[in-house]
Amino acid sequence: MPVEQAVKRFGGIDVLVNNASAISLTGTAETSMKKYDLMNGVNARGTFLCSQVCLPHLAKSSNPHILNLSPPLSMKSKWFSGHVAYTMAKFGMSMCVLGMAEELKDQGVAVNALWPKTVIATAAVMNLLGGEEAVAASRKPEILADAAHLILTKPSKEFTGNFVIDEDLLRAHGVSDLSKYLVTPGVEPLPDFFVD
């Protein structure tokens, strides 16, 4: 099992980042059950399972964190319309944050979510969500890495149950110039889904 192999090789687990995701921005009639099952299997079930399997090892860490790349919960219909199955799957990850943060706080295991304010230059954006034009109007993944680092270095007993937007967190920590994260200098990035 990969978790046991990681523990054997590195001596434990301090951080779990649930980042894997499956996406299909299709309407209800166009979403096959195979795609539905894939999205919910990878996003919601995968997050729950990885968290469950890592929990005994995280509980032994001095500063354990689970970080889900998932959006803030919002029951606004605009975030469901046009891609109900995908939103359900991503919000499944966010519901894990909501529930597990409360459940695990007495064990000192932090559970938080991180989400981009803008589109991020990823393979999904290139291949599924707009191609080169969308990538050109995106931010680099490094913005999420820097935000994740800030979250994962916070004391786990003091910072849990949060739905963090990358840009907001960086600005709160004194980063005022975000231009280094632009894929195309001078081009404002497109807003991401799920951010009001």
Catalytic residues: 86
Measured between alpha carbons, how far apart are the two ends of the chain, in Å?
40
Local confidence band at 88 (pLDDT 50, 70, 90 cut-offs): very high
Q: What is the pLDDT of residues 42-51, one digit of tens each?
A: 999 999 999 9
Q: Does residue 105 have a pLDDT over 70?
A: yes
pTM for the full model? 0.94
Superfamily classification of domain 2-181: NAD(P)-binding Rossmann-like Domain (3.40.50.720)
Q: Does residue 57 have a pLDDT over 80?
A: yes
Instruction: Identify the helix (H) or strand (E) that includes residue 100.
Output: helix 84-104
Under 8 Å between Cβ of 53 and 105 = no
Residue boundaries of the structural domains of the chain: 2-181
How is residue 163 annotated by DSSP? E
Q: Which two tokens stand for residue 120?
A: 């991020």
In the chain, pLDDT over 70 holds for what percent of residues?
97
Instruction: Identify the helix (H) or strand (E) that includes residue 113.
Output: strand 110-115
Q: Does residue 188 have a pLDDT over 90?
A: no
Q: What is the pLDDT of residues 159-183, one digit of tens each?
A: 999 999 999 999 999 999 999 999 8
Query: Dihedrals φ, ψ of 96, to 5°?
Result: -60, -40
